[in-house]
Structure 1
Amino acid sequence: MIEGPYFVLVVFGALWCGLAAGVFVAFSTFVMRGLGALPPDRGIAAMNAINVAAVNPAFMVVFLGAAALCAVIAVVTFVLWPEQGTVELLLGCALYLVGSFGVTVLANVPRNEALAKLAGDEEAEASAAYWGTYRSEWSGWNHIRSGASLAASASFLLALT
């Protein structure tokens, strides 16, 4: 049975992963569509501005906080090895750490860095062509982050029941 501080830790893990999922879902459902409706030069400039603005304490607490909580939950789960919920807890940790944090580091951030290199050259034909590719690829990886974060949250909730 999960109880005491361990219970609280798992509840916070579920909430933080769910909050991260909400941010990612917002991007998948309307932010990227809105940016895609803009002319490429304006869409590129707006996305670059969003990527700079995203590196702030509020978002980092959610995104990195969820990763830290998952890492701690994984360690505590391995140490305590509860009679119930072990699989769900470890699955939730893996889903967020690989499917959200890992995908961000390995897929979304490199694309953001490539887009940032187009700053000042947004009106070039090559930039406009890359913008379509960027939106498609970035959004695909973002869908994975969304699903993984939501599944991690659900997995933690299942472990608590």
Structure 2
Amino acid sequence: MSDRMLNSLTFFSALGSGLIAGIFFAFSVFVMAALSRLPAAQGIAAMQSINVVILNTVFVVVFIGTALASVILAITSFFRWGEAGATYLLAGSLIYLIGSFMVTLVFNVPLNDALAAVDPNSADGADLWIRYNVSWTAWNHVRTLATIVALTSFIIAFRQWD
């Protein structure tokens, strides 16, 4: 991979990690707290709507695009092992892939699927909402921290090439 392509992909991954970190940060700091203050039926309905609306082209391109770029950068880091920034490139890539992408697929998406299947006005819905809020938010904190660390690693890798 050319240096120019590597720089561009690293920049894209840093930007993508930062954008995703901002989304996760907002949910960790105030969105979920605000939703939990609503009556269960309203909180469920709002989160169900968010989970549908977030699956738009821009979000998917940034979220999945950063994951794909991270795979390429992780592989590239092995071919450039020993060069400045390679360790940070690998770290940022793996942290994004595991702490953001995989945590989302393994933990947050199944929770979202369970919430999507519940009637917001039911007793089962109210019970699920309490468990959902605690578990989903805890895993979102993991994703927030992971994307911030990935962003930092990509920036450090990028800066070491100057």
- Write out per-residue CA displacement over residues 3-49 of structure 1, whole angstroms, 9 at most, x where no aligned residue: 42212211111111111101111111111111111100011111111
- Write out per-residue CA displacement over residues 52-90 of structure 1, whole angstroms, 9 at most, x where no aligned residue: 111110110111111011111112222233511111111
For the aligned residues, what is the CA RMSD?
1.4
Task: After TM superposition, list the pairs within 5 Å mapping 1:1-161 onto structure 2.
Answer: 3-81=3-81, 83-118=83-118, 121-161=119-159
TM norm structure 2: 0.92
Write the distance in 2 (CA, Å) between the matches of 1:62 and 1:7.
17
Which one-letter code corresponds to 2:122 in the other structure?
A
Write the distance in 2 (CA, Å) between the matches of 1:112 and 1:144.
16
After TM superposition, give the deviation of residue 138 of structure 1 in Å.
0.2
Q: Secondary structure at the match of 2:121?
A: coil
Q: Cα distance 1:13–1:82, how it changes in 2: closer, same or farther (>3 A)?
A: farther
Write the distance in 1 (CA, Å) between the matches of 2:116 and 2:8.
40
Q: Which runs of 5+ in 1 are unaligned?
A: none
Which one-letter code corresponds to 1:71 in the other structure?
V
Write the distance in 2 (CA, Å) between the matches of 1:157 and 1:83.
16
TM norm structure 1: 0.93
Number of residue equivalences: 158
Contact preservation (8 Å) 2:80, 2:86: no
- Write out per-residue CA displacement over residues 116-137 of structure 1, whole angstroms, 9 at most, x where no aligned residue: 110xx22222211110110110
Q: Alignment identity in percent?
A: 44
Write the distance in 2 (CA, Å) between the matches of 1:123 and 1:41.
5
Write the distance in 1 (CA, Å) between the matches of 2:113 and 2:12.
31
